[in-house]
Structure 1
Amino acid sequence: MPPTPPPGTAFSSGPHGRSLVATQDFTPGSLIATFSSPTLALPDGPSMRTTCNYCLRVGSNEGFSPVSLKACTGCKAAVYCGPTCQRAHWKSIHKAECKMFARVRETTGKDWHVAPFLLPTPARALAQVLLTNDKGIRDPFDGSDPLESNLEGFKADEQVWGDFELQAMAAMTYSGVSMNEDGLRVAMRFLCQIQTNAFNRLDADTGMSGIFLDPALARVNHSCVPNAFIGFDKRTATLRAERPIKEGEEITISYIANDKPRSIRREGLRLYYFECDCPRCVDDLDVYQVAQTSPVISLNSFSLQPDLTKFREPAIDKSGISMNQIEIIYKVVYDQTKSEQDTSIEAARTRWKLCKPLVEAKMWAVEPLPTTILLLATNWQTNYKWAVYALPLACFLATQCDPIKLVAPFMPWRIKGVMIITKLLAFTGELTSSGELAKRCTHEGIVGALAMADQVTMCQALLHIVVHQGSIGAAEDWDVLKEAKMMLKDLESLPGRVDESKMVQAWARDPEDPQAKAFFESEVLKPVNTLASFAPEILEDVLVQGQGSVVRR
């Protein structure tokens, strides 16, 4: 049966090929569609033993209660969070896959998930397709209206095609499909369809990984200035409006990180075999220019960046730097460091030095500068010595970088940034109350700002932001949202804080109420901005001076 469009949408065809269009208006944050019966949904190879292989619940990170995972007694490879998921997976695919894993062990003496026999995730996905579709003869991706495969484009790329062939042959061997020319041709087409239409579920913060393929969701086309976004929660994908969407408008998402320079975005889209013609690409706009024209700027009145002039009239100076220079900086940064995720201090120093023109222009939201700060902040958060210094960096990212890159305050990444500040404030609050902060932190500005601040009030207000925006842009059972609700309940039950709690709640109900707004600006926004103001000098001191006067004084 061909896929059917979700309610409120329709399938269409246009200049970008097959598409999904709205048949009604959608407001920012509203749910467009939920996809909970995917054709394929599986964790990646390295996460196969830490993720339930059916519901995709991460075993090591589920709120406050880590999920216990048990391996299949037959193959010992797939793991599950409970018997319900194990039975469902057995019925849908694992009855056949379990035998395949056993063949891997018999052939190699190693399990499927153990290197060097760890196959790429698309290969396991292809094996599942072959196992459940009459030895690969029938098209599982709807034979009457097959998914786009970009077959000719992949064939033209000798290196990619050769890699695909190896993956297809491995999947055929272990799934028991006869290795002949016709079978390989069909398997290769399936693999191309998987590569073209599956979504990456990767979320490093939660440990979520793997691929998700739903034929209806695959109809949604790409734009570097999208009007919608996808969220994943276990075995479900949700499509939500990022901007206002009018009836008849095409629904678009970004297939890639759309805040990178244009040449990098084009390289990220290379294996989709199209060239994006969105305004960001056609006019080579930077993130500030895109933010200036966003229709959701006003929603930031309830956020950590309620000053809307920061969006419309950013205090930046682009006179000394061009988009071409920014592209060169980006490429050189990642040529000279090991990877985009390298958190070493050496990599941070290299990036900071190369990003100096962006620093001088105060273009803090332009990559690779935000990632440079983020990786350092992430590294410091888990370091006993440096955790306190991560707080100003987190405040800086949440006020100067994230709002420009993602104008809608309900976007999950922005919500996570606020949650990080909350947790760091909880940590520093304990140090402040015990008198240990001055011993742990030699930066007088940080110590003084936190000594003057009511960190409990700050946490309570930030948690209201997380709960409010998370309820708009994410599912109710999103781990971050659930944790925020629990923390907020605990804070609001603390004795001796009736007046402060009432003021925070009054602001949360009406952020434009003059008295509540003044309270928020004084007790929350002012200390957050003060802490954020220390970030540039700390970064300069650590990355240029090598832990000089700022962190020692």
Structure 2
Amino acid sequence: MEDLQSVLLDRNLTVSSVPEKGRSLFVTKDFYPGEVIISQEPYVCVPNNNSVQKRCEGCFTTTNLKKCSRCQVVWYCGTSCQKLEWKFHRLECEVLSRLDNDKKKYVTPSIRLMVKLYLRRKLQNEKIIPSTVMDNYNLVEALVSHMSDITKEQLLLYAQMANLVNVILQWPEINIKEIAENFSKFACNAHTICDSELRPLGTGLYPVISIINHSCLPNSVLVFEGRSASVRAVQHVPKGSEVLISYIETAGSTMTRQKALKEQYLFNCTCPRCSKLGQYDDIRESAILEGYRCKNEKCDGFLLRTTDGKGFQCQQCGLVREKEEIKKTATEIKSLSEEEASKLSSAGYYQEAISIYKMIEKLQTKLYHPFSINLMRTREKILKSLMELEHWSEALAYCKLTIPVYQSAYPAIHPLLGLQYYTCGKLEWYLGETEEAVKSLTKAVDILRITHGTNTHFVTELLMKLEEARAEASYKSSSKE
């Protein structure tokens, strides 16, 4: 720990223990929006391979893949990634090759992540690959597992998974209890590796970054470039402040966020946003994000339950919606299979999926507040399917419908808001709405240069698009004159 402290101090960081939180990361100098607070390579990581899609073990790409001829589990895009991973995969390949095809079906990304954890420890212990202060198994041991807080069902699942890891490794000295505890650590500490547009690619364990605690009003954001994780400040983080990121989707009511955090991470959040639970601002936010719309379609007021519990009253115009009427519409929505629409979309039947989503949207428009996140997410799904079908005009219309909700649900500097502006700008530009595209792309740049960094390939491309759009807008303007 002292060695880690020394390295962190050189990076203007320090680890301190905070009551109710445990280890926490603090800054020892001021950090400003867009500055990288800390970066780390994964101790172990795996692509999220499944029966439908495979990714390269090295770079997570989905193109030009070839399966390892020996183990028949791991995929590579070429010799460069294969060579880069060889010291590691040589051992993994050996243990996976011993499995019959039936057992290989159970080698999920989570199982592979655990197998790789122990293989990496072995390789570092044997000095085959180097250990550093920021890259060693001791950091994994120091992570919190919350084993005493998990359910019996979860404990049984971890034990079963640990037994499978034992079957794969076949090491006499292996400790089943330790493996089960490490699975619990994964659940609380592993991160989903995403691309620049926040699409999930894999899972990685970043033991130092895992020290960073959660807040529903974070001052920093975790983003990835390839497999490398970086935490960037999204606001001024004064010297002596704790570094805070969000572990979950923050667009939701306090109760929804608290439930998600308790189920996944086994703690109750006490951040400034959550501490307002039950106060007027919190009630209003919850009623807008997850509540019902006013009976008067022209009114954008939020509804609260009436004192007799028989309905919901608009806090702006006073109209009441009967509980039974709301229940009826909710039942109609439930009868439409969103799961079926998702399956159709995944299978490439986008038009069929859109038809179902639009029926859901129509009912949700009647039921939910215009800024409802449920309605927003349905429209996002329609937007994605429309873009797959290259129905650009309608896609733009749906994108514009989501923007106000994003602005309401997220802070001004949030990657999801920036990415939505980016999508809007690209669609506007493609459709010849150049001046509007410049506005949207400028908004995207203003956010994403902070969350993603100006030197990343993604933001560099975005800046080039913005300059091209500006040049085109200028040309069109001069042509009119």
Cross-structure match for 1:130 = 118
Structure 1 residues 185-204: aligned runs within 5 Å: 185-202=177-194
Structure 1 residues 118-157: aligned runs within 5 Å: 118-134=106-122, 141-142=137-138, 146-154=142-150, 157=151
Structure 1's unaligned 5+ residue stretches are 61-67, 291-314, 430-454, 504-553
The number of equivalent residue pairs is 423
How far 1:240 sits from its partner (Å)?
Answer: 1.2
- Contact kept? 1:288, 1:404, Cα under 8 Å: no
Cross-structure match for 1:418 = 421
Cross-structure match for 1:393 = 398
Cross-structure match for 1:349 = 359
How far 1:392 sits from its partner (Å)?
Answer: 1.7
Supply the distance in 2 between the matched residues of 1:120 and 1:70 (Cα, whole angstroms).
Answer: 19
Cross-structure match for 1:481 = 459
Query: Match for 1:274 among 267, 284, 288?
Result: 267
Indicate yes or no: 2:91 matched with 1:85.
no
- Letter aligned with residue 383 of structure 1: L
Query: Match for 2:98 among 97, 100, 103?
Result: 103
**SS of residue paired to 1:45:** coil
Structure 1 residues 140-289: aligned runs within 5 Å: 141-142=137-138, 146-154=142-150, 157-178=151-172, 183-202=175-194, 207-269=199-261, 270-284=263-277, 286=282
Query: Match for 1:458 among 415, 426, 436?
Result: 436
Cross-structure match for 2:381 = 375
How far 1:120 sits from its partner (Å)?
Answer: 3.0
- Letter aligned with residue 20 of structure 1: L
TM-score, normalised to structure 2, is 0.75
* Mean CA deviation greater in 339-348 or 217-226: 339-348
Supply the distance in 2 between the matched residues of 1:100 and 1:287 (Cα, whole angstroms).
Answer: 54
- Contact kept? 2:35, 2:450, Cα under 8 Å: yes
Cross-structure match for 2:348 = none
Cross-structure match for 1:545 = none
How far 1:476 sits from its partner (Å)?
Answer: 4.4
Structure 1 residues 57-68: aligned runs within 5 Å: 58-60=61-63, 68=64
Query: Match for 1:406 among 383, 392, 410?
Result: 410
Instruction: Deviation per CA, 1:262-307: give whole Å up to 9, x if none.
Output: 33322322232211112322323559869xxxxxxxxxxxxxxxxx
Cross-structure match for 1:318 = 302
- Contact kept? 1:38, 1:213, Cα under 8 Å: yes
Cross-structure match for 1:546 = none
Cross-structure match for 2:71 = 75
Cross-structure match for 1:470 = 448
How far 1:177 sits from its partner (Å)?
Answer: 2.7
Alpha-carbon distance change, 163 to 335 in structure 1, aligned in 2, over 3 angstroms = farther
- Contact kept? 2:219, 2:236, Cα under 8 Å: yes
Supply the distance in 2 between the matched residues of 1:335 and 1:169 (Cα, whole angstroms).
Answer: 41
Instruction: Deviation per CA, 1:107-135: give whole Å up to 9, x if none.
Output: 1268x4xxxx0433221111112223349
Supply the distance in 1 between the matched residues of 2:214 and 2:46 (Cα, whole angstroms).
Answer: 23
- Letter aligned with residue 378 of structure 1: K
**SS of residue paired to 2:267:** coil
Instruction: Deviation per CA, 1:354-377: give whole Å up to 9, x if none.
Output: 564543xx4x1x422321221222
- Letter aligned with residue 160 of structure 2: L
How far 1:239 sits from its partner (Å)?
Answer: 0.5
- Contact kept? 2:17, 2:23, Cα under 8 Å: yes
How far 1:150 sits from its partner (Å)?
Answer: 1.0
How far 1:27 sits from its partner (Å)?
Answer: 2.2
**SS of residue paired to 1:497:** helix
- Letter aligned with residue 240 of structure 2: G
- Contact kept? 1:457, 1:500, Cα under 8 Å: no
Supply the distance in 2 between the matched residues of 1:460 and 1:11 (Cα, whole angstroms).
Answer: 43
What percentage of residue pairs aligned between the two structures are identical?
22
- Letter aligned with residue 225 of structure 1: L
Pairwise CA RMSD: 3.9
Supply the distance in 1 between the matched residues of 2:441 and 2:97 (Cα, whole angstroms).
Answer: 48
Structure 1 residues 424-443: aligned runs within 5 Å: 424-429=427-432
- Contact kept? 1:341, 1:375, Cα under 8 Å: no
Alpha-carbon distance change, 387 to 464 in structure 1, aligned in 2, over 3 angstroms = closer
Supply the distance in 1 between the matched residues of 2:125 and 2:183 (Cα, whole angstroms).
Answer: 14
Structure 2's unaligned 5+ residue stretches are 127-134, 287-298, 314-325, 346-352
Supply the distance in 2 between the matched residues of 1:76 and 1:489 (Cα, whole angstroms).
Answer: 46
- Letter aligned with residue 191 of structure 1: F
Alpha-carbon distance change, 334 to 97 in structure 1, aligned in 2, over 3 angstroms = farther
- Letter aligned with residue 164 of structure 1: Y
- Contact kept? 1:460, 1:488, Cα under 8 Å: yes
Would you tell me which structure has more strand in proportion to its own residues?
Answer: 2
How far 1:51 sits from its partner (Å)?
Answer: 2.5
How far 1:43 sits from its partner (Å)?
Answer: 1.0
Alpha-carbon distance change, 287 to 137 in structure 1, aligned in 2, over 3 angstroms = farther
How far 1:20 sits from its partner (Å)?
Answer: 0.5
Alpha-carbon distance change, 96 to 204 in structure 1, aligned in 2, over 3 angstroms = same
- Contact kept? 1:126, 1:171, Cα under 8 Å: yes
Instruction: Deviation per CA, 1:158-194: give whole Å up to 9, x if none.
Output: 221122122111122112234x8x7211211222222
Supply the distance in 1 between the matched residues of 2:474 and 2:197 (Cα, whole angstroms).
Answer: 35
- Contact kept? 1:135, 1:177, Cα under 8 Å: no
Alpha-carbon distance change, 18 to 43 in structure 1, aligned in 2, over 3 angstroms = same
Cross-structure match for 2:129 = none
Indicate yes or no: 2:475 matched with 1:497.
yes
How far 1:97 sits from its partner (Å)?
Answer: 0.8
Supply the distance in 1 between the matched residues of 2:283 and 2:377 (Cα, whole angstroms).
Answer: 14
Cross-structure match for 1:31 = 36
How far 1:417 sits from its partner (Å)?
Answer: 1.0
Indicate yes or no: 2:8 matched with 1:9.
no
How far 1:211 sits from its partner (Å)?
Answer: 1.2
Cross-structure match for 1:299 = none
TM-score, normalised to structure 1, is 0.66
